[in-house]
Protein backbone atom coordinates (compact mmCIF):
# COMPACT_ATOMS: atom_id res chain seq x y z
CA UNK A 1 0.00 0.00 0.00
CA UNK A 2 1.00 3.62 -0.49
CA UNK A 3 1.59 5.82 2.54
CA UNK A 4 0.33 9.42 2.37
CA UNK A 5 0.76 12.31 4.80
CA UNK A 6 -1.94 14.98 5.11
CA UNK A 7 -1.50 18.01 7.36
CA UNK A 8 -4.58 20.29 7.20
CA UNK A 9 -3.83 22.17 10.42
CA UNK A 10 -6.88 24.31 11.15
CA UNK A 11 -7.14 23.65 14.90
CA UNK A 12 -4.14 23.91 17.18
CA UNK A 13 -3.29 23.81 20.85
CA UNK A 14 -0.32 23.13 23.04
CA UNK A 15 0.21 19.42 23.66
CA UNK A 16 -1.64 18.07 26.69
CA UNK A 17 0.72 15.10 26.85
CA UNK A 18 3.89 13.93 25.17
CA UNK A 19 1.90 12.34 22.34
CA UNK A 20 3.45 13.10 18.98
CA UNK A 21 2.22 12.94 15.41
CA UNK A 22 5.11 10.56 14.71
CA UNK A 23 3.25 7.91 16.73
CA UNK A 24 0.39 8.08 14.23
CA UNK A 25 2.91 7.99 11.38
CA UNK A 26 4.47 4.83 12.82
CA UNK A 27 1.04 3.17 13.01
CA UNK A 28 0.36 4.13 9.41
CA UNK A 29 3.71 2.73 8.27
CA UNK A 30 3.01 -0.58 10.01
CA UNK A 31 -0.39 -0.81 8.29
CA UNK A 32 1.08 0.13 4.90
CA UNK A 33 3.76 -2.56 5.18
CA UNK A 34 1.31 -5.31 6.10
CA UNK A 35 -1.59 -7.01 4.38
CA UNK A 36 -4.73 -4.91 4.31
CA UNK A 37 -7.37 -6.07 6.77
CA UNK A 38 -10.77 -4.35 6.57
CA UNK A 39 -12.18 -3.21 9.91
CA UNK A 40 -14.64 -5.66 11.49
CA UNK A 41 -18.27 -4.89 10.68
CA UNK A 42 -20.86 -4.21 13.34
CA UNK A 43 -23.71 -6.76 13.73
CA UNK A 44 -25.97 -7.21 10.72
CA UNK A 45 -29.10 -5.97 12.49
CA UNK A 46 -27.42 -2.56 12.83
CA UNK A 47 -26.22 -2.48 9.22
CA UNK A 48 -29.75 -3.38 8.11
CA UNK A 49 -31.34 -0.38 9.82
CA UNK A 50 -32.94 1.97 7.33
CA UNK A 51 -32.15 5.68 7.41
CA UNK A 52 -35.09 6.67 9.60
CA UNK A 53 -34.48 3.83 12.06
CA UNK A 54 -30.85 4.79 12.37
CA UNK A 55 -31.62 8.49 12.79
CA UNK A 56 -33.92 7.59 15.69
CA UNK A 57 -30.83 6.53 17.70
CA UNK A 58 -29.85 9.65 19.63
CA UNK A 59 -26.73 10.51 21.59
CA UNK A 60 -27.48 12.32 24.84
CA UNK A 61 -25.62 15.69 24.84
CA UNK A 62 -25.43 15.45 28.64
CA UNK A 63 -23.00 12.55 28.10
CA UNK A 64 -20.64 14.61 25.92
CA UNK A 65 -16.93 14.20 26.57
CA UNK A 66 -15.42 17.14 28.57
CA UNK A 67 -18.85 18.47 29.54
CA UNK A 68 -17.95 18.19 33.22
CA UNK A 69 -14.89 20.45 32.85
CA UNK A 70 -14.42 24.03 31.78
CA UNK A 71 -13.46 23.19 28.20
CA UNK A 72 -15.45 25.10 25.59
CA UNK A 73 -15.07 22.09 23.30
CA UNK A 74 -17.22 19.02 23.82
CA UNK A 75 -17.43 15.70 21.97
CA UNK A 76 -20.63 13.91 20.98
CA UNK A 77 -20.36 10.32 19.75
CA UNK A 78 -21.84 8.89 16.55
CA UNK A 79 -23.37 5.38 16.75
CA UNK A 80 -22.59 2.67 14.17
CA UNK A 81 -25.41 1.45 11.95
CA UNK A 82 -26.98 1.89 8.52
CA UNK A 83 -24.15 3.10 6.25
CA UNK A 84 -21.72 3.38 9.20
CA UNK A 85 -20.78 -0.28 9.06
CA UNK A 86 -17.78 -0.45 11.39
CA UNK A 87 -16.61 1.10 14.62
CA UNK A 88 -13.73 3.56 14.85
CA UNK A 89 -11.22 3.63 17.70
CA UNK A 90 -11.44 6.91 19.63
CA UNK A 91 -8.77 8.02 22.08
CA UNK A 92 -8.47 10.97 24.42
CA UNK A 93 -5.12 12.64 25.08
CA UNK A 94 -4.90 14.47 28.41
CA UNK A 95 -2.29 15.37 30.99
CA UNK A 96 -2.22 11.75 32.23
CA UNK A 97 -1.68 10.11 28.86
CA UNK A 98 -3.71 8.46 26.12
CA UNK A 99 -6.96 6.71 27.03
CA UNK A 100 -9.51 4.85 24.87
CA UNK A 101 -12.96 6.45 24.79
CA UNK A 102 -15.20 3.58 25.80
CA UNK A 103 -18.62 2.89 24.35
CA UNK A 104 -21.50 3.41 26.78
CA UNK A 105 -24.98 2.23 25.81
CA UNK A 106 -26.56 4.49 28.41
CA UNK A 107 -25.29 7.54 26.52
CA UNK A 108 -27.76 6.75 23.72
CA UNK A 109 -31.51 6.57 23.44
CA UNK A 110 -32.97 3.94 21.11
CA UNK A 111 -36.33 3.95 19.32
CA UNK A 112 -37.37 0.58 20.77
CA UNK A 113 -36.49 -1.42 23.87
CA UNK A 114 -35.87 -4.46 21.67
CA UNK A 115 -33.16 -2.65 19.74
CA UNK A 116 -31.61 -1.31 22.95
CA UNK A 117 -31.34 -4.84 24.37
CA UNK A 118 -29.51 -6.09 21.28
CA UNK A 119 -26.76 -3.44 21.37
CA UNK A 120 -23.42 -5.05 22.37
CA UNK A 121 -21.78 -3.51 25.42
CA UNK A 122 -18.52 -3.16 23.46
CA UNK A 123 -20.06 -1.94 20.17
CA UNK A 124 -17.86 1.14 19.78
CA UNK A 125 -18.46 4.44 18.02
CA UNK A 126 -18.69 5.24 14.29
CA UNK A 127 -17.16 8.68 14.78
CA UNK A 128 -17.69 11.91 16.66
CA UNK A 129 -19.04 15.46 16.49
CA UNK A 130 -17.15 18.39 17.95
CA UNK A 131 -19.22 21.15 19.51
CA UNK A 132 -18.29 24.69 20.55
CA UNK A 133 -20.26 27.84 21.47
CA UNK A 134 -20.04 29.62 18.12
CA UNK A 135 -22.46 32.35 19.21
CA UNK A 136 -22.29 34.89 21.98
CA UNK A 137 -23.86 32.57 24.55
CA UNK A 138 -22.92 29.18 25.97
CA UNK A 139 -25.01 26.96 23.64
CA UNK A 140 -22.90 24.17 22.16
CA UNK A 141 -22.99 24.15 18.33
CA UNK A 142 -21.83 21.26 16.15
CA UNK A 143 -19.05 22.48 13.87
CA UNK A 144 -16.99 19.44 12.87
CA UNK A 145 -18.09 15.85 12.19
CA UNK A 146 -16.05 12.77 11.35
CA UNK A 147 -18.15 9.65 10.75
CA UNK A 148 -17.99 6.57 8.59
CA UNK A 149 -15.56 5.82 5.77
CA UNK A 150 -13.55 9.00 5.11
CA UNK A 151 -16.52 11.33 5.53
CA UNK A 152 -16.20 14.64 7.31
CA UNK A 153 -17.77 18.08 7.28
CA UNK A 154 -17.14 21.36 9.04
CA UNK A 155 -18.73 24.76 9.44
CA UNK A 156 -17.58 28.15 10.65
CA UNK A 157 -19.30 30.73 12.83
CA UNK A 158 -22.32 32.33 11.10
CA UNK A 159 -22.16 29.67 8.36
CA UNK A 160 -24.33 26.66 7.55
CA UNK A 161 -23.33 23.08 6.93
CA UNK A 162 -23.01 22.51 3.19
CA UNK A 163 -21.57 19.71 1.09
CA UNK A 164 -19.61 17.03 2.92
CA UNK A 165 -16.08 15.97 2.01
CA UNK A 166 -13.83 12.92 2.17
CA UNK A 167 -10.31 12.53 3.47
CA UNK A 168 -9.45 10.85 0.19
CA UNK A 169 -11.32 9.19 -2.69
CA UNK A 170 -9.56 6.85 -5.12
CA UNK A 171 -10.51 6.24 -8.76
CA UNK A 172 -13.79 8.11 -8.53
CA UNK A 173 -15.94 7.65 -11.62
CA UNK A 174 -13.73 4.94 -13.13
CA UNK A 175 -15.15 1.62 -14.37
CA UNK A 176 -12.71 -0.23 -12.09
CA UNK A 177 -14.66 1.00 -9.08
CA UNK A 178 -14.18 3.65 -6.42
CA UNK A 179 -12.26 3.24 -3.19
CA UNK A 180 -12.76 5.22 0.01
CA UNK A 181 -10.15 4.47 2.69
CA UNK A 182 -11.82 4.44 6.08
CA UNK A 183 -11.01 6.39 9.21
CA UNK A 184 -10.00 3.65 11.64
CA UNK A 185 -8.64 5.61 14.63
CA UNK A 186 -8.68 9.11 16.12
CA UNK A 187 -6.85 10.82 18.96
CA UNK A 188 -8.59 13.87 20.50
CA UNK A 189 -6.32 16.16 22.47
CA UNK A 190 -8.14 17.70 25.40
CA UNK A 191 -7.83 21.50 25.22
CA UNK A 192 -7.09 23.64 28.22
CA UNK A 193 -9.84 25.42 30.13
CA UNK A 194 -11.21 28.30 28.08
CA UNK A 195 -9.09 27.45 25.02
CA UNK A 196 -10.51 28.22 21.57
CA UNK A 197 -8.22 25.73 19.82
CA UNK A 198 -7.70 21.97 19.91
CA UNK A 199 -6.00 19.24 17.94
CA UNK A 200 -7.29 16.02 16.37
CA UNK A 201 -5.14 13.23 14.89
CA UNK A 202 -6.67 10.81 12.41
CA UNK A 203 -5.66 7.56 10.70
CA UNK A 204 -7.24 6.28 7.48
CA UNK A 205 -6.62 2.86 6.00
CA UNK A 206 -7.65 1.20 2.74
CA UNK A 207 -6.54 -1.50 0.28
CA UNK A 208 -4.15 0.88 -1.52
CA UNK A 209 -3.65 3.85 0.80
CA UNK A 210 -2.80 4.44 4.44
CA UNK A 211 -3.05 8.07 5.50
CA UNK A 212 -2.37 9.98 8.70
CA UNK A 213 -3.60 13.49 9.37
CA UNK A 214 -3.57 16.13 12.09
CA UNK A 215 -6.02 19.01 12.26
- Given a cut of 80, whether residue 14 has pLDDT beyond it is no
Residue 105 has pLDDT above 70, yes or no: yes
Residue 11 predicted with pLDDT over 70:
no
Domain count, the chain: 1
Domain that holds residue 160: 2-214
| In contact, 114 and 46? CB cutoff 8 Å | no
What is the overall mean pLDDT for the chain? 86
Q: Is the pLDDT of residue 6 over 70?
A: no
pLDDT given at position 187: 96
Give Cβ neighbours of residue 43 (< 8 Å, ≥ 6 apart): 118, 120
Here the CATH number for the domain that contains residue 109 is 2.70.98.10
Mean pLDDT, range 135-148, rounded to an integer: 86
Mean pLDDT of all residues in 52-77: 94
| pLDDT at position 115 | 96
CA gap 88, 186 in Å, rounded = 8
pLDDT for residue 8: 47
- Model pTM score: 0.86
- Average pLDDT, stretch 102-129? 95
Q: State the DSSP string of 75-134.
A: EEEE--BTTB-B-BEEEEEETTEEEE----GGGEE-SSHHHHHHS-TT--BSEEEEEE--
Q: Output the pLDDT for position 182.
A: 87
Amino acid sequence: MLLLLILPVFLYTASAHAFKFEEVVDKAKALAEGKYEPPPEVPGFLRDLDYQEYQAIRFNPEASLWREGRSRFQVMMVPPGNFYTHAVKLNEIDADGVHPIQFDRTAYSFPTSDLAKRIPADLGHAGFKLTYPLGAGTEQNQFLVFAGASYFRGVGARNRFGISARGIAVDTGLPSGEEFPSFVEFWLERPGAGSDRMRVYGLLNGPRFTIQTVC
